[in-house]
Structure 1
Amino acid sequence: MKGRSFFVCLAVAAISACASSSHLESTATVSKEGYFADPGDFWGVNFKTGQPASGKALLEAVAGPRDQEALENDLALLKRMPPDVPLRVLGFTDSEECSGLSCSELSLRRAQALQDWLLNHGVSKSRLSAPKGLGSARPISSNETEDGRAQNRRAYISYEDVP
């Protein structure tokens, strides 16, 4: 396994050396395992309250223009990564937009919407485990303010195989 990590590190270093100075290519860092750090390199997207509704397209449900840039960033990173790195899309809610089972369902719709967008833009299905919705269980900001809740309404790509 150490040999594989060395070659992954070497590949990442070579890619980094050839990268331009654009923001999309300068945000990735290498972890001790030789992969990009999680989730600092994948930006993920934020959603409008209660979105996406069933059957609604991702771009209609995301919070704003920054999310389109985030999608492009994440897609570019995926294209540069070794194809055997296991990935999973995770979705989350804030603590006020839903409760109980409805939070699990909404967070899963968010993860599924992001995963569907990635698949529609050329990412191989074999690279992605089934998407997972984690409800409001892992906030990254306070749910006491609208800004904090807006940050918690998110989905992103993760390297971790979340149980």
Structure 2
Amino acid sequence: MKLRWTKNSMLTGLILGLMACASSQTAFSTDFSIDAVFFNDGVPAKGGTLDASLVGSNESLQVLKNDADAIKSLKPPHRVKIVGHTDSKECSGKACEALSLRRAELVFNWMVANGVPTSMLLPPEGHGSHEPVASNDIPKGRARNRYVEFQVVPSTPQL
């Protein structure tokens, strides 16, 4: 079966694509980017600090500064959820959830301390090792799974 593109179907597709792009511009500027930050194995411990926990602390703190600027540029009703993750070998069960939550809380607190209004942030979450982005079978993969991500979500009105 061959697909046949007519002038009208191509024009309709182009218009729909442009409309999708235009609607996304209501939430984001054209240079909008929020990057994840990565953590060293097994940290932070309770009471640990962010800069002692991050891989490449100076570079990661610069990433966070850029992320804070991007978050502050969001337009309502969008907010940001900060979600922590772990690899599957640095901890297990509830300990992974607690470690990933500590990571998310440190980043959340850093964002607030650096001018991001709490009204733009949802409560931090820890997802443990349940959502790997790379293989936990190799060291490089485990390193990629020790991170905090930012999820931009539209707020829904409370009824």
**Counterpart position of 2:102:** 109
The residue type paired with residue 70 of structure 2 is: L
Q: Supply the RMSD in Å over aligned alpha carbons.
A: 2.1
Q: Which residue of 1 aligns with 2:72?
A: 79
Moved over 4 A (4+): 5-8
2:146 to 131, 138, 153: 153
1: CA distance between counterparts of 2:51 and 2:111? 12
Q: Is the 8 A contact 2:26 2:75 kept in 1?
A: no
Write the mapping of 1:131-150 to structure 2, written as runs, cut at 5 A. 131-150=124-143
SS of the residue corresponding to residue 59 of structure 2 reads helix
Measured in 2, the distance between the counterparts of 1:148 and 1:116 equals: 27
Q: How far apart are 1:63 and its partner, in Å?
A: 1.0
1:88 corresponding residue in structure 2: 81
Figure out how many residues of one structure are paired with residues of the other and give that number.
133
- Give the TM-score taking structure 1 as reference length: 0.73
Deviations along 1:19-54, one digit per CA (max 9) or x if unpaired, are: xxxxxxx4x3xxxxxxxxxxxx32111001111111
> Which amino acid is the alignment partner of residue 68 of structure 1?
L
Q: Tell me which structure has the larger Cα radius of gyration.
A: 2
Residue 69 of structure 1, CA deviation: 2.6
2: CA distance, partners of 1:132 / 1:94: 16
Q: List aligned pairs for 1:13-162, cutoff 5 A.
A: 15-16=29-30, 26=31, 28=32, 41-64=33-56, 65-160=58-153
**C-alpha contact (below 8 Å) 1:90/1:134 kept by paired residues:** yes
Which blocks of at least 5 consecutive residues in structure 2 are unaligned?
Answer: 1-20, 155-159
TM (norm. structure 2) is 0.75
